[in-house]
Amino acid sequence: MTRKLFGTDGVRGRANSWPMTADLALRLGAAAGRYFRRDGSSAHRVVIGKDTRLSGYMLENALTAGLTSTGMNVLLLGPVPTPAVGYLTRSMRADLGVMISASHNPHQDNGIKFFGPDGFKLSDAAEAEIEAMVEGEITPAKPENIGRAKRIEDGRGRYQEFVKTSFPNGLRLDGLKVVIDCANGAAYKAAPEVLWELGAEVIPVGVSPNGTNINDRCGSTHIDTAATAVVTHGAHVGISLDGDADRVMILDEAGRVADGDQIMALLAARWAEEGRLAGGALVATVMSNLGLERFLNARGLGLERTAVGDRYVVERMREGGFNLGGEQSGHIVMTDYATTGDGLIAGLQFLAEMVRTGQPASTLTRSFDTVPQLLKNVRFAEGMRPLEAARVQEVIAANEARMAGKGRILIRKSGTEPLIRVMAECEDEGLLLTVVDEIVGAVEAAV
Protein backbone atom coordinates (compact mmCIF):
# COMPACT_ATOMS: atom_id res chain seq x y z
CA MET A 1 0.00 0.00 0.00
CA THR A 2 1.52 3.34 -1.09
CA ARG A 3 1.93 5.99 1.59
CA LYS A 4 1.52 9.70 0.81
CA LEU A 5 1.36 11.22 4.30
CA PHE A 6 3.98 9.20 6.15
CA GLY A 7 7.68 9.57 5.47
CA THR A 8 10.64 7.85 7.12
CA ASP A 9 9.72 9.33 10.50
CA GLY A 10 5.99 9.95 10.72
CA VAL A 11 4.09 12.79 9.09
CA ARG A 12 6.10 15.97 8.73
CA GLY A 13 5.82 19.37 7.06
CA ARG A 14 5.58 23.11 7.52
CA ALA A 15 3.18 24.17 10.28
CA ASN A 16 -0.22 25.40 9.03
CA SER A 17 0.49 24.01 5.58
CA TRP A 18 -0.62 20.58 4.38
CA PRO A 19 -0.12 18.09 5.91
CA MET A 20 0.70 19.90 9.16
CA THR A 21 -2.70 21.57 9.53
CA ALA A 22 -5.14 21.37 12.42
CA ASP A 23 -7.71 19.78 10.10
CA LEU A 24 -5.36 17.01 8.98
CA ALA A 25 -4.15 16.42 12.55
CA LEU A 26 -7.75 16.01 13.70
CA ARG A 27 -8.45 13.44 10.96
CA LEU A 28 -5.15 11.70 11.62
CA GLY A 29 -6.00 11.45 15.32
CA ALA A 30 -9.46 10.11 14.52
CA ALA A 31 -8.03 7.56 12.08
CA ALA A 32 -5.40 6.40 14.59
CA GLY A 33 -8.07 6.16 17.27
CA ARG A 34 -10.33 4.09 15.06
CA TYR A 35 -7.39 1.86 14.05
CA PHE A 36 -6.61 1.06 17.69
CA ARG A 37 -10.29 0.71 18.73
CA ARG A 38 -11.36 -1.76 16.09
CA ASP A 39 -12.41 -4.25 18.75
CA GLY A 40 -15.04 -1.78 19.99
CA SER A 41 -14.03 -1.93 23.67
CA SER A 42 -13.80 1.23 25.78
CA ALA A 43 -10.57 0.66 27.74
CA HIS A 44 -8.25 2.39 25.28
CA ARG A 45 -5.78 5.16 25.97
CA VAL A 46 -3.14 7.18 24.16
CA VAL A 47 -0.29 9.29 25.50
CA ILE A 48 0.72 12.47 23.67
CA GLY A 49 4.01 14.27 24.08
CA LYS A 50 5.44 17.26 22.22
CA ASP A 51 8.54 19.39 21.91
CA THR A 52 8.62 23.16 22.41
CA ARG A 53 7.42 24.41 19.01
CA LEU A 54 4.67 27.01 19.01
CA SER A 55 2.62 24.88 16.60
CA GLY A 56 2.65 22.04 19.12
CA TYR A 57 -0.31 23.57 20.95
CA MET A 58 -2.42 23.61 17.79
CA LEU A 59 -1.56 20.06 16.78
CA GLU A 60 -1.91 18.70 20.32
CA ASN A 61 -5.45 20.06 20.58
CA ALA A 62 -6.42 18.84 17.12
CA LEU A 63 -5.07 15.34 17.73
CA THR A 64 -6.84 15.21 21.09
CA ALA A 65 -10.12 16.16 19.45
CA GLY A 66 -9.73 13.49 16.79
CA LEU A 67 -8.71 10.77 19.22
CA THR A 68 -11.43 11.46 21.78
CA SER A 69 -14.03 11.59 18.99
CA THR A 70 -13.40 7.90 18.40
CA GLY A 71 -13.48 7.01 22.08
CA MET A 72 -9.76 7.11 22.96
CA ASN A 73 -8.81 8.46 26.39
CA VAL A 74 -5.94 10.91 25.98
CA LEU A 75 -3.12 11.44 28.48
CA LEU A 76 -1.22 14.68 27.79
CA LEU A 77 2.44 14.66 28.81
CA GLY A 78 3.43 18.16 27.70
CA PRO A 79 7.03 18.81 26.55
CA VAL A 80 9.01 15.56 26.85
CA PRO A 81 11.68 13.88 24.70
CA THR A 82 10.57 11.49 21.97
CA PRO A 83 12.05 8.46 23.82
CA ALA A 84 9.94 9.42 26.84
CA VAL A 85 6.82 8.82 24.75
CA GLY A 86 8.08 5.38 23.74
CA TYR A 87 8.83 4.53 27.36
CA LEU A 88 5.60 5.93 28.83
CA THR A 89 3.43 4.28 26.18
CA ARG A 90 4.56 0.93 27.57
CA SER A 91 4.75 2.03 31.21
CA MET A 92 1.24 3.48 31.24
CA ARG A 93 -0.21 0.49 29.35
CA ALA A 94 -1.37 2.71 26.50
CA ASP A 95 -2.48 1.42 23.12
CA LEU A 96 -0.82 4.26 21.27
CA GLY A 97 1.83 6.92 21.79
CA VAL A 98 2.07 10.15 19.81
CA MET A 99 5.01 12.55 19.65
CA ILE A 100 4.52 15.98 18.10
CA SER A 101 7.91 17.04 16.83
CA ALA A 102 9.98 17.72 13.72
CA SER A 103 13.13 16.65 15.53
CA HIS A 104 16.13 18.66 14.29
CA ASN A 105 14.14 20.79 11.82
CA PRO A 106 13.53 24.55 12.39
CA HIS A 107 10.53 25.74 14.36
CA GLN A 108 8.43 26.41 11.24
CA ASP A 109 8.20 22.63 10.71
CA ASN A 110 6.43 20.06 12.81
CA GLY A 111 5.63 16.37 12.70
CA ILE A 112 3.56 13.58 14.20
CA LYS A 113 5.14 10.24 15.13
CA PHE A 114 3.20 7.19 16.31
CA PHE A 115 4.31 4.48 18.74
CA GLY A 116 2.55 1.15 19.24
CA PRO A 117 1.68 -0.37 22.63
CA ASP A 118 5.14 -2.00 22.77
CA GLY A 119 6.78 1.44 22.64
CA PHE A 120 8.22 0.92 19.15
CA LYS A 121 7.35 3.10 16.17
CA LEU A 122 4.53 1.77 14.01
CA SER A 123 5.35 -0.40 11.02
CA ASP A 124 5.00 0.84 7.46
CA ALA A 125 1.94 -1.40 7.07
CA ALA A 126 0.19 0.08 10.12
CA GLU A 127 0.92 3.63 8.95
CA ALA A 128 -0.46 2.78 5.51
CA GLU A 129 -3.70 1.49 7.07
CA ILE A 130 -4.09 4.64 9.16
CA GLU A 131 -3.44 6.77 6.10
CA ALA A 132 -6.14 4.92 4.18
CA MET A 133 -8.56 5.64 7.02
CA VAL A 134 -7.70 9.36 6.87
CA GLU A 135 -8.84 9.40 3.25
CA GLY A 136 -12.09 7.54 3.98
CA GLU A 137 -15.04 7.84 6.31
CA ILE A 138 -14.20 7.61 10.01
CA THR A 139 -17.00 6.38 12.25
CA PRO A 140 -17.17 8.49 15.44
CA ALA A 141 -17.97 7.08 18.85
CA LYS A 142 -21.46 7.32 20.28
CA PRO A 143 -21.99 10.39 22.51
CA GLU A 144 -21.75 8.32 25.68
CA ASN A 145 -18.45 6.75 24.49
CA ILE A 146 -16.49 9.91 23.64
CA GLY A 147 -13.04 9.78 25.23
CA ARG A 148 -11.67 11.94 28.02
CA ALA A 149 -8.46 13.98 28.13
CA LYS A 150 -6.24 14.32 31.18
CA ARG A 151 -2.93 16.11 31.72
CA ILE A 152 -0.22 13.98 33.34
CA GLU A 153 1.88 16.26 35.52
CA ASP A 154 4.68 13.83 36.40
CA GLY A 155 5.40 12.29 32.97
CA ARG A 156 8.77 13.99 32.69
CA GLY A 157 9.71 12.93 36.21
CA ARG A 158 8.84 9.32 35.49
CA TYR A 159 11.06 9.41 32.42
CA GLN A 160 13.95 11.00 34.33
CA GLU A 161 13.88 8.28 36.98
CA PHE A 162 13.86 5.64 34.25
CA VAL A 163 16.82 7.25 32.45
CA LYS A 164 18.91 7.18 35.63
CA THR A 165 18.44 3.42 35.87
CA SER A 166 20.51 3.10 32.66
CA PHE A 167 23.56 4.55 34.42
CA PRO A 168 25.72 1.86 36.08
CA ASN A 169 25.13 1.25 39.76
CA GLY A 170 27.95 2.49 41.95
CA LEU A 171 29.11 5.18 39.52
CA ARG A 172 28.61 8.92 39.90
CA LEU A 173 29.53 11.97 37.88
CA ASP A 174 31.18 13.82 40.73
CA GLY A 175 34.04 16.01 39.52
CA LEU A 176 32.87 16.08 35.89
CA LYS A 177 31.96 19.43 34.37
CA VAL A 178 29.43 18.77 31.61
CA VAL A 179 27.97 21.14 29.03
CA ILE A 180 24.49 20.01 28.02
CA ASP A 181 22.92 21.67 24.97
CA CYS A 182 19.19 20.95 24.85
CA ALA A 183 18.51 22.84 21.59
CA ASN A 184 15.76 24.83 23.34
CA GLY A 185 13.79 21.65 22.84
CA ALA A 186 11.98 18.86 24.61
CA ALA A 187 14.78 17.93 27.05
CA TYR A 188 15.41 21.45 28.33
CA LYS A 189 14.42 20.45 31.85
CA ALA A 190 14.96 16.67 31.91
CA ALA A 191 18.57 16.51 30.71
CA PRO A 192 20.16 19.07 33.07
CA GLU A 193 18.25 17.66 36.04
CA VAL A 194 19.34 14.07 35.37
CA LEU A 195 23.00 15.08 35.03
CA TRP A 196 22.86 17.16 38.21
CA GLU A 197 21.18 14.36 40.16
CA LEU A 198 24.00 12.01 39.14
CA GLY A 199 26.58 14.43 40.52
CA ALA A 200 27.84 16.40 37.52
CA GLU A 201 28.59 20.10 37.49
CA VAL A 202 26.18 21.15 34.77
CA ILE A 203 26.56 24.03 32.31
CA PRO A 204 23.18 24.20 30.53
CA VAL A 205 22.85 25.63 27.01
CA GLY A 206 19.69 25.93 24.93
CA VAL A 207 17.31 25.70 27.89
CA SER A 208 15.14 28.79 27.28
CA PRO A 209 12.54 27.74 24.71
CA ASN A 210 10.14 30.41 23.47
CA GLY A 211 8.28 28.44 20.80
CA THR A 212 10.39 29.65 17.88
CA ASN A 213 14.02 29.11 18.92
CA ILE A 214 14.14 25.32 18.90
CA ASN A 215 17.30 24.13 17.06
CA ASP A 216 18.12 27.77 16.34
CA ARG A 217 21.94 27.97 16.31
CA CYS A 218 22.09 25.29 18.98
CA GLY A 219 21.68 21.55 19.41
CA SER A 220 23.20 18.57 17.63
CA THR A 221 22.95 20.11 14.16
CA HIS A 222 24.62 23.37 15.29
CA ILE A 223 27.39 22.14 17.58
CA ASP A 224 29.43 25.37 17.58
CA THR A 225 27.32 26.72 20.45
CA ALA A 226 28.08 23.76 22.70
CA ALA A 227 31.70 23.64 21.54
CA THR A 228 32.21 27.27 22.53
CA ALA A 229 30.64 26.62 25.91
CA VAL A 230 32.91 23.62 26.53
CA VAL A 231 36.05 25.65 25.85
CA THR A 232 34.86 28.78 27.65
CA HIS A 233 33.91 26.94 30.84
CA GLY A 234 36.79 24.46 30.75
CA ALA A 235 34.32 21.56 30.70
CA HIS A 236 35.42 17.94 30.47
CA VAL A 237 32.79 17.07 27.87
CA GLY A 238 29.80 18.40 25.99
CA ILE A 239 26.53 16.64 25.17
CA SER A 240 24.49 18.18 22.36
CA LEU A 241 20.92 16.99 21.80
CA ASP A 242 18.46 17.80 19.04
CA GLY A 243 15.00 19.30 19.45
CA ASP A 244 13.26 16.11 20.57
CA ALA A 245 16.36 14.60 22.23
CA ASP A 246 16.41 11.34 20.28
CA ARG A 247 19.86 12.08 18.84
CA VAL A 248 23.15 13.23 20.33
CA MET A 249 26.62 14.50 19.48
CA ILE A 250 29.50 14.35 21.95
CA LEU A 251 32.15 17.07 22.21
CA ASP A 252 35.55 16.50 23.79
CA GLU A 253 37.33 18.91 26.13
CA ALA A 254 38.67 20.89 23.16
CA GLY A 255 35.23 21.27 21.60
CA ARG A 256 35.82 18.70 18.84
CA VAL A 257 32.71 16.78 17.84
CA ALA A 258 32.20 13.00 17.73
CA ASP A 259 29.25 11.79 15.67
CA GLY A 260 27.09 8.73 16.11
CA ASP A 261 29.62 6.44 14.40
CA GLN A 262 32.30 7.15 17.02
CA ILE A 263 29.82 6.75 19.87
CA MET A 264 28.59 3.42 18.49
CA ALA A 265 32.17 2.19 18.01
CA LEU A 266 33.01 2.93 21.65
CA LEU A 267 29.88 1.22 22.96
CA ALA A 268 30.14 -1.78 20.62
CA ALA A 269 33.73 -2.47 21.67
CA ARG A 270 32.90 -2.12 25.35
CA TRP A 271 29.78 -4.26 25.16
CA ALA A 272 31.65 -6.95 23.19
CA GLU A 273 34.32 -7.08 25.91
CA GLU A 274 31.58 -7.59 28.48
CA GLY A 275 29.88 -10.27 26.39
CA ARG A 276 26.69 -8.24 26.07
CA LEU A 277 26.75 -7.20 22.39
CA ALA A 278 23.89 -9.32 21.10
CA GLY A 279 24.59 -11.03 17.78
CA GLY A 280 28.20 -9.87 17.77
CA ALA A 281 27.26 -7.01 15.48
CA LEU A 282 26.17 -3.39 15.29
CA VAL A 283 23.29 -2.17 13.11
CA ALA A 284 23.84 1.11 11.26
CA THR A 285 22.74 2.76 8.03
CA VAL A 286 24.37 3.09 4.64
CA MET A 287 25.57 6.55 5.77
CA SER A 288 27.94 5.20 8.43
CA ASN A 289 31.62 5.65 7.70
CA LEU A 290 33.73 2.87 6.23
CA GLY A 291 36.15 3.45 9.11
CA LEU A 292 33.49 2.18 11.52
CA GLU A 293 33.12 -1.01 9.51
CA ARG A 294 36.88 -1.58 9.50
CA PHE A 295 37.06 -0.94 13.26
CA LEU A 296 34.37 -3.53 13.96
CA ASN A 297 35.75 -6.12 11.56
CA ALA A 298 39.20 -5.86 13.14
CA ARG A 299 37.59 -6.96 16.41
CA GLY A 300 35.64 -9.82 14.89
CA LEU A 301 32.40 -7.85 15.01
CA GLY A 302 29.91 -7.31 12.21
CA LEU A 303 28.17 -4.27 10.76
CA GLU A 304 24.61 -4.68 9.51
CA ARG A 305 23.64 -1.80 7.20
CA THR A 306 20.10 -0.57 6.58
CA ALA A 307 18.34 2.21 4.71
CA VAL A 308 18.57 5.67 6.27
CA GLY A 309 16.16 6.20 9.15
CA ASP A 310 16.26 5.02 12.74
CA ARG A 311 13.02 3.08 12.22
CA TYR A 312 14.82 0.82 9.72
CA VAL A 313 17.71 0.37 12.13
CA VAL A 314 15.27 -0.70 14.84
CA GLU A 315 13.44 -3.06 12.49
CA ARG A 316 16.70 -4.83 11.63
CA MET A 317 17.70 -4.97 15.28
CA ARG A 318 14.43 -6.63 16.19
CA GLU A 319 14.59 -9.04 13.25
CA GLY A 320 18.15 -10.13 14.02
CA GLY A 321 18.10 -9.93 17.81
CA PHE A 322 20.71 -7.15 17.97
CA ASN A 323 20.74 -4.72 20.90
CA LEU A 324 22.90 -1.85 19.64
CA GLY A 325 22.45 0.28 16.55
CA GLY A 326 22.06 3.78 15.29
CA GLU A 327 22.91 6.43 12.78
CA GLN A 328 25.88 8.64 12.05
CA SER A 329 23.55 11.59 12.69
CA GLY A 330 23.41 10.66 16.37
CA HIS A 331 20.44 8.34 16.81
CA ILE A 332 21.81 5.68 19.18
CA VAL A 333 19.39 2.82 19.81
CA MET A 334 20.01 0.53 22.78
CA THR A 335 17.10 -1.85 23.08
CA ASP A 336 18.31 -3.02 26.48
CA TYR A 337 17.10 0.39 27.66
CA ALA A 338 14.83 2.05 25.11
CA THR A 339 12.66 1.38 22.06
CA THR A 340 13.98 4.29 20.02
CA GLY A 341 17.00 6.57 19.85
CA ASP A 342 17.64 8.27 23.18
CA GLY A 343 20.23 11.03 23.19
CA LEU A 344 20.29 11.41 26.95
CA ILE A 345 20.79 7.70 27.66
CA ALA A 346 23.51 7.55 24.99
CA GLY A 347 25.20 10.54 26.60
CA LEU A 348 25.08 8.83 29.99
CA GLN A 349 26.68 5.70 28.54
CA PHE A 350 29.54 7.83 27.24
CA LEU A 351 29.95 9.56 30.61
CA ALA A 352 29.98 6.17 32.32
CA GLU A 353 32.96 5.19 30.14
CA MET A 354 34.74 8.39 31.12
CA VAL A 355 34.23 7.58 34.80
CA ARG A 356 35.05 3.89 34.43
CA THR A 357 38.25 4.35 32.41
CA GLY A 358 39.43 7.70 33.74
CA GLN A 359 40.21 8.67 30.15
CA PRO A 360 39.41 12.09 28.68
CA ALA A 361 36.66 12.56 26.13
CA SER A 362 39.27 13.26 23.45
CA THR A 363 40.51 9.68 23.75
CA LEU A 364 37.12 8.00 23.92
CA THR A 365 35.74 9.91 20.92
CA ARG A 366 38.49 8.72 18.56
CA SER A 367 38.00 4.97 18.33
CA PHE A 368 38.81 4.86 14.62
CA ASP A 369 40.15 7.00 11.78
CA THR A 370 37.38 8.06 9.47
CA VAL A 371 37.56 7.60 5.72
CA PRO A 372 37.08 11.04 4.09
CA GLN A 373 33.36 11.54 3.54
CA LEU A 374 31.56 14.48 1.95
CA LEU A 375 27.85 15.23 2.08
CA LYS A 376 26.10 18.06 0.26
CA ASN A 377 22.39 18.84 0.06
CA VAL A 378 20.32 20.33 -2.75
CA ARG A 379 16.92 21.78 -1.91
CA PHE A 380 14.11 21.33 -4.42
CA ALA A 381 10.55 22.53 -4.85
CA GLU A 382 7.51 20.44 -3.96
CA GLY A 383 6.56 18.05 -6.74
CA MET A 384 9.92 18.04 -8.49
CA ARG A 385 11.80 14.79 -9.16
CA PRO A 386 15.35 15.86 -9.99
CA LEU A 387 16.84 12.37 -9.64
CA GLU A 388 14.71 11.21 -12.58
CA ALA A 389 16.26 13.75 -14.98
CA ALA A 390 18.23 12.05 -17.75
CA ARG A 391 21.24 14.34 -17.35
CA VAL A 392 21.39 13.72 -13.59
CA GLN A 393 21.32 9.97 -14.13
CA GLU A 394 24.09 10.24 -16.73
CA VAL A 395 26.34 12.20 -14.37
CA ILE A 396 25.67 9.79 -11.51
CA ALA A 397 26.50 6.77 -13.68
CA ALA A 398 29.71 8.36 -14.93
CA ASN A 399 30.92 9.17 -11.44
CA GLU A 400 29.98 5.76 -10.09
CA ALA A 401 32.23 4.28 -12.78
CA ARG A 402 35.00 6.71 -11.80
CA MET A 403 34.72 5.69 -8.14
CA ALA A 404 34.59 1.93 -8.79
CA GLY A 405 36.99 0.18 -6.44
CA LYS A 406 38.05 3.47 -4.84
CA GLY A 407 35.05 4.44 -2.77
CA ARG A 408 31.29 4.67 -2.80
CA ILE A 409 28.52 7.13 -3.69
CA LEU A 410 25.12 7.39 -1.99
CA ILE A 411 22.41 9.66 -3.39
CA ARG A 412 18.98 9.80 -1.85
CA LYS A 413 15.94 11.96 -1.28
CA SER A 414 15.55 12.99 2.35
CA GLY A 415 12.58 11.46 4.10
CA THR A 416 12.06 14.51 6.33
CA GLU A 417 12.89 17.56 4.18
CA PRO A 418 12.71 18.51 0.45
CA LEU A 419 16.40 17.78 -0.04
CA ILE A 420 18.50 15.59 -2.30
CA ARG A 421 21.45 14.33 -0.26
CA VAL A 422 24.65 13.56 -2.19
CA MET A 423 27.27 11.65 -0.20
CA ALA A 424 30.54 10.07 -1.28
CA GLU A 425 33.37 8.35 0.55
CA CYS A 426 36.91 7.95 -0.76
CA GLU A 427 40.53 7.98 0.45
CA ASP A 428 41.39 10.34 -2.44
CA GLU A 429 39.97 13.66 -1.19
CA GLY A 430 40.51 15.36 -4.55
CA LEU A 431 38.44 12.73 -6.33
CA LEU A 432 35.88 12.89 -3.54
CA LEU A 433 35.33 16.62 -3.99
CA THR A 434 35.17 16.36 -7.78
CA VAL A 435 32.60 13.58 -7.75
CA VAL A 436 30.28 15.24 -5.23
CA ASP A 437 30.49 18.63 -6.92
CA GLU A 438 29.71 17.21 -10.35
CA ILE A 439 26.64 15.36 -9.10
CA VAL A 440 25.46 18.32 -7.03
CA GLY A 441 25.89 20.58 -10.06
CA ALA A 442 23.76 18.28 -12.20
CA VAL A 443 21.01 18.11 -9.56
CA GLU A 444 21.06 21.90 -9.09
CA ALA A 445 20.71 22.36 -12.84
CA ALA A 446 17.70 20.01 -12.81
CA VAL A 447 15.92 21.94 -10.05
* Cβ partners under 8 Å of residue 20, min gap 6: 11, 12, 13, 14, 55, 59, 109, 110, 111
CA 330/CA 346 separation, integer angstroms: 9
Q: Are 311 and 115 in contact (CB under 8 A)?
A: no
The CA-to-CA distance between both ends of the chain, in Å, stands at 29
Catalytic residue among 103, 220, 240, 288: 103
Residue 363, CA distances (Å) to 206, 256, 261 in order = 26, 11, 15
Which backbone phi and psi does 282 adopt, to 5 degrees?
Answer: -115, 145
**For this structure, is 103 an active site residue?**
yes
CA 295/CA 302 separation, integer angstroms: 10
* Cβ partners under 8 Å of residue 339, min gap 6: 83, 86, 87, 90, 115, 118, 119, 120, 121, 314
Residue 187, CA distances (Å) to 88, 92, 168, 182 in order = 15, 20, 21, 6
> Residue 76 carries which side chain, given as an amino acid letter?
L
Give the start-end residues of each E strand in 80-200: 96-100, 109-115, 149-151, 177-181
* Catalytic residue ranges: 103
